Amino acid sequence: MGNSDKDDLSLPVSPKVHVRIFLAAHGDGPHACWFCEEAVTRGDGGRWRAREGLTIHHLDHDQSNNALENLVPAHLGCHAGYHSGLRAAQKVEEARRKMAAARRRSTREAPELAAGIMRQIRALGRRIGDGDGGLSEFRRLKEAIKLAEGEAVAQLRSHGLSDSEIGKELGVSKQSVQERWPRSS
Ligand SMILES: [Zn+2]
Ligand SMILES: [Zn+2]
């Protein structure tokens, strides 16, 4: 595609050079807007009306590629709308990628986290056995684990897993999943 010559790019280039190139080749119009296909003409007396005025879009999105076949006419409004739509779509795609990365991270980190906590629980058992705490600490620990289990079950349900699938993971029946963690309406 034409103009990617280093010497051309290093020249001081007017921001409207692509418009001048298009007009020199095709005249003031009317032209068919690339986006809405309605007539678009260079404004009277060389003025550019804010929304309706003519602008030139780079088909390949490379602002430095001013090869004539890369330039198409457009209304200023249609052109601005196209580019802001592109940006919005890019933002949505970026957010989707970030969420997928966070999901991958959490499935990678959960087993490591669990292994660390299990080591700590065994260490706690030894400390309790040495007489620091008393067995009431274990009761509180069991309660905390039960709560964590309930949170995991609720989370799995929110991801659309059925109670029998959850039961299979835990090695218990669907019924005991439903008894232990009743679905709150
Ligand atoms: Zn248009
Ligand atoms: Zn454009």
> pLDDT tens digit string along 13-27?
444 889 889 999 998
From the CA of 79, how far away is ligand 2's center (Å)? 6
Best CA proximity match to 110, nearest among 146, 161, 158, 151: 151
From the CA of 61, how far away is ligand 2's center (Å)? 6
Question: Quick check: is 45 in a domain?
Answer: yes
Residue in the block written with tokens 């705490």: 133
From the CA of 62, how far away is ligand 2's center (Å)? 9
From the CA of 36, how far away is ligand 1's center (Å)? 4
> Looking at the CA of 36, which ligand is closest?
1
Q: Which residues are in the CB-under-5-Å shell of ion ligand 1?
A: 33, 35-36, 75, 78
Question: Quick check: is 98 in a domain?
Answer: no
pTM above 0.75, yes or no: no
- Joined tokens for residue 55: 């602008």
Low-confidence ranges of the chain (pLDDT < 50): 1-15, 44-50
From the CA of 116, how far away is ligand 2's center (Å)? 53
> Looking at the CA of 55, which ligand is closest?
2
Question: Quick check: is 95 in a domain?
Answer: no
pLDDT of 25 reads 94
Question: Quick check: is 38 in a domain?
Answer: yes
Contact 78, 57 (CB under 8 A): no
Question: Quick check: is 125 in a domain?
Answer: no
Domain range for 76: 6-82
Supply the DSSP symbol for 10: H
Question: Quick check: is 41 in a domain?
Answer: yes
Give the chain's mean pLDDT: 81
Listed in sequence order, the residues at least 6 apart from 86 whose beta carbon sits closer than 8 Å to its beta carbon are none
Query: How many structural domains are present in the chain?
Result: 1
Listed in sequence order, the residues at least 6 apart from 35 whose beta carbon sits closer than 8 Å to its beta carbon are 57, 74, 75, 78, 79, 81, 82
β-partners of residue 75 are 54
- Joined tokens for residue 60: 């390949």
pLDDT digits (tens, 9 = 90+) for 100-121: 888 888 888 888 888 998 898 8
Question: Quick check: is 130 in a domain?
Answer: no
